[in-house]
Structure 1
Amino acid sequence: MSRWLEALETFAMDVILGHRCGRRAGLLRMTLWIFSSLTFLTVRLRLVLFQKRIFRRRAMGCLVVSVGNLTIGGTGKTPVVEMLARQLQAGGRKVAILSRGYKSTPKSCLQRVLNKVLYNTRLLAPRIVSDGKSLLLDPHTAGDEPFMLANNLHGVIVLVDSDRVRSGLFAIKHFGADVLLLDDGLQYLKMRRTVEIVLIDRDAPFGNEFLLPRGTLREPVKHLYRATHILITKCTGEDNSLLISRIRKLNRTAEIAECAHHPQHLINLWTGEIRPLKFLEDLPIGSLCGIAVPENFVNVLETLGARVGLTRNYADHHRYSVKEVQAFIRRCAQCNLQAILTTEKDAVRIPHVLDPEVPIYFMRVEIKILRGSKVWKNFFNRLASLQQVRTPKRFFDSGDGL
């Protein structure tokens, strides 16, 4: 069933992005456009209900930093969240990352029913991916992105729960967190936030300009006005004045910085061996990934001098089987390729293979601020110096509802 749904998702994305032509694809796009109108009405109504305080936002009593985007996938959010957590931690803050755990293993039907009926605090406790000292969950249970963050960030708490107000209160109560980092938080309106950081992909700032399901926008472009800070990602050093000009028409006050996803080195998936980037120069390799925009990964590999002989792309967050990985390794060996490259996000989802004929490496990537570094530094200095405000009455103390 999961493979069938993944194939359907891939087909739908090809139609949405115009990669499929013909009458049927055109009719499907028209149908999806009609549903996009419903998305617009739903998103607008929900936002108005929160703005008019018909729906209430919960104040957490500590610093809340939201990181999100207007589009689905592809902006490089996870490395940005990692950078934010590191810099806040370096400023002396106790950081907890709150994730919804997209495509993590769902709770059983019985657990969900008990959660609703009993509303017991022990049953409602979020999944603890990391307590800041050790990893407590595997990538399937936690979700690949929360697991990756927990694996890379020592001393940072990582929690997974669809109700991030609940997980935030848990982090404050049980771990003494004074900063909550709301991962993928732009559309999560139930929690008040101190800072709203919105990521914009330089290559596809607003997707194909259509709302879901006709396009890749989660909400209208004009909603960018809610951002307090905007980070333009995947920059190459080229001029972004046209994009910044458009952003300024939508948001006149947000601080803007430009950044690049900077490759650091290569790590052998199973031995942990570290290789410098120059290892890729003129090296025949295969590319294996399941991310939103796999073409970007291949472009990076080629820019670093690699000769990409084979590529195998899957849908975003694809869960690899041993059979799939072994089949690709065999194909690469038959083509005399010397290595297989994958992304760090994919690496946590690739199962172990004994004695692979071709080694698999993942690329370690970190964020580098290209323009606006002074603005960004001042921003973090302000965050680190903010006094911790009074902690609200905690839900987990009493077992009462929110």
Structure 2
Amino acid sequence: MFPLQHLWARTGVFTVLLSPLSLLFAVVSGLRRLAYRRGWLASRAAGVPVIVVGNITAGGSGKTPLTIWLVNWLRSQGYYPGVISRGYGGTARGCVEVEVDSPAAEVGDEPLLIRFKTAVPVVVGRDRVAAARMLLERHPEIDVLVSDDGLQHYRLQRTIELAVVDAASGLGNGWPLPAGPLREPRRRLEQVDAVVQVVRGATLLRTDLPVASWRVDFSAGSAYRLGDPRETRPLHALPQQDWLAATGIGRPQGFFDMLQAAGIRFTPRAFPDHHAFRPQDLPADGAVVMTEKDAVKCLSFAGHQWWALQLDVAPEPRFIDWLSARIEQELPSRVRREMQDEQF
């Protein structure tokens, strides 16, 4: 995925060579959207409001950290959220509920991280309608579903669509897959409820998007030792030594930039997105720093000096105000539940 991000950043020979396949992809995906819009293919309601956090580009735009923030924010507001995800990279067949000790190889690294960071019920499955059904059957207290990714999974009806765009890379060269990063045309952003731009460090907001957007800042939080996650330190307080910065995420440069900004001396090593880490990939006796998405796959064999960097996610206040007002309109169940609780 890392080399593709460079190729997708501009139009070149690579783009021209793959343009026939991109045209075919655009036609097929367009027909599929039309089929759902016209009702030729049926969509299904989950029974509770559904918030989709997705994007129109391939690669890491920041969906999962925003999903984690959203779920924890919903809990702080008194809701009972659950999460559904495809479980990309996992081997699970059908629908599987994610536990804190589930193998990442089975359920996928991102759903496992969401479960670890939120403690809410999470179910993975290629069929998100079936995943939603399982989640609600097992956890009837859930009053809102959050779909990690799934913007293009039109079979599941949604109440609110949040599209995430990485401010550094934007929409790349603007071409559909595989010549570019687009899963859907850029005008799709005009149809979602809100577009959020993920900003890392000194990156500027993009002004070339077809719609206005909200700002969400990602910054380096504290780090914890994989062998004992209760041991945390500010990133700048890690020992002054040469670190191996290893990561298997869609946009590794953002991670490396955070380390550099904190004054960490490191050697970067980027693996493919969703890489299934093995003990031989990293030095057991070395000083290693990684993202939390990588860490959930390394807990069982982590060396003593392996640390995971947490992300601080900070949406702009106006976005939170908008989201709060919108959800209050869509989730009257919380009000009814509070009234019932007061009666008892």
TM-score by length of structure 1 reads: 0.76
What SS is found at the alignment partner of 1:74?
A: coil
- Quote the residue 1:363 is aligned against: 309
Listed as ranges, the matches of 1:1-400 within 5 Å are 15-17=7-9, 26=13, 29-107=15-93, 126-130=95-99, 135=100, 137-154=102-119, 156-176=120-140, 177-236=142-201, 240=205, 243-244=206-207, 246-247=208-209, 250-251=210-211, 256-272=213-229, 273-280=231-238, 283-308=241-266, 310-326=267-283, 339-350=287-298, 352-353=300-301, 356=303, 359-369=305-315, 371=316, 373-384=317-328, 386-388=331-333
Task: After TM superposition, give the deviation of residue 262 of structure 1 in Å.
Answer: 2.2
The CA distance in 2 between the partners of 1:33 and 1:55, in whole Å, is: 28
The CA distance in 2 between the partners of 1:178 and 1:348, in whole Å, is: 28
Matched AA of 2:307: Y
Going from structure 1 to structure 2, the CA distance change for 1:360 and 1:281 (only over 3 Å counts) comes to: closer
Task: After TM superposition, give the deviation of residue 305 of structure 1 in Å.
Answer: 0.9
Please tell me whether Structure 1 or Structure 2 has the larger radius of gyration of its CA atoms.
1
Task: After TM superposition, give the deviation of residue 377 of structure 1 in Å.
Answer: 2.7
The CA distance in 2 between the partners of 1:72 and 1:83, in whole Å, is: 21
The answer (yes or no) to whether the contact 2:227–2:299 under 8 Å persists in 1 is no
The answer (yes or no) to whether the contact 1:268–1:361 under 8 Å persists in 2 is yes
Output one character per residue of 1:107-142: Cα deviation in whole Å (capped at 9) or x when no partner. Answer: 3xxxxxxxxxxxxxxxx5x20004xxxx35221111
Going from structure 1 to structure 2, the CA distance change for 1:345 and 1:239 (only over 3 Å counts) comes to: closer
The CA distance in 2 between the partners of 1:10 and 1:235, in whole Å, is: 18
CA RMSD of the aligned region, Å?
Answer: 2.5
The answer (yes or no) to whether the contact 2:201–2:218 under 8 Å persists in 1 is no
TM-score by length of structure 2 reads: 0.88
The CA distance in 2 between the partners of 1:232 and 1:149, in whole Å, is: 20
Q: Any stretches of 5+ residues in structure 2 without a counterpart?
A: 335-344
Going from structure 1 to structure 2, the CA distance change for 1:384 and 1:173 (only over 3 Å counts) comes to: farther
The CA distance in 2 between the partners of 1:238 and 1:375, in whole Å, is: 19
Task: After TM superposition, give the deviation of residue 381 of structure 1 in Å.
Answer: 4.5
The CA distance in 2 between the partners of 1:184 and 1:257, in whole Å, is: 18
The CA distance in 2 between the partners of 1:58 and 1:207, in whole Å, is: 33
The answer (yes or no) to whether the contact 1:198–1:229 under 8 Å persists in 2 is yes
The CA distance in 1 between the partners of 2:322 and 2:252, in whole Å, is: 34
Output one character per residue of 1:60-113: Cα deviation in whole Å (capped at 9) or x when no partner. Answer: 221110000111122111110001101111222221100000000243xxxxxx
The CA distance in 2 between the partners of 1:185 and 1:69, in whole Å, is: 8
Q: Any stretches of 5+ residues in structure 1 without a counterpart?
A: 1-8, 20-24, 108-123, 334-338, 390-402
What SS is found at the alignment partner of 1:150?
A: helix
The CA distance in 2 between the partners of 1:381 and 1:281, in whole Å, is: 45
The CA distance in 2 between the partners of 1:276 and 1:11, in whole Å, is: 31
Task: After TM superposition, give the deviation of residue 29 of structure 1 in Å.
Answer: 3.9
- Quote the residue 1:111 is aligned against: none
The CA distance in 2 between the partners of 1:323 and 1:375, in whole Å, is: 44
The CA distance in 1 between the partners of 2:260 and 2:272, in whole Å, is: 21
The CA distance in 1 between the partners of 2:253 and 2:319, in whole Å, is: 31
The CA distance in 1 between the partners of 2:192 and 2:252, in whole Å, is: 28
Greater helix share, structure number: 1
Output one character per residue of 1:361-387: Cα deviation in whole Å (capped at 9) or x when no partner. Answer: 110112112x3x134234224414621
Going from structure 1 to structure 2, the CA distance change for 1:228 and 1:88 (only over 3 Å counts) comes to: same
Task: After TM superposition, give the deviation of residue 313 of structure 1 in Å.
Answer: 1.2
What SS is found at the alignment partner of 2:228?
A: coil
Matched AA of 2:34: V
Task: After TM superposition, give the deviation of residue 173 of structure 1 in Å.
Answer: 2.2
The answer (yes or no) to whether the contact 1:288–1:341 under 8 Å persists in 2 is yes
Task: After TM superposition, give the deviation of residue 192 of structure 1 in Å.
Answer: 1.2
Going from structure 1 to structure 2, the CA distance change for 1:91 and 1:159 (only over 3 Å counts) comes to: same
